[in-house]
Structure 1
Amino acid sequence: MNRRKKIIKKLQKKDKKANAKIHKSNKPVYVSKAEREKLAVQANSEQSSIEEEGTDSTSNKEL
Structure 2
Amino acid sequence: MSKKLFKELQTRMQHALKELDGSDEIPLEDLFPDEFIREHTKFSTVDDFLNRVNLSRTDYV
Q: What is the TM-score normalised by the length of structure 1?
A: 0.33
Larger Rg: 1
Which structure shows the higher helix fraction? 1
Greater RCO, CA 8 A, separation 6+: 2
Q: What is the TM-score normalised by the length of structure 2?
A: 0.34
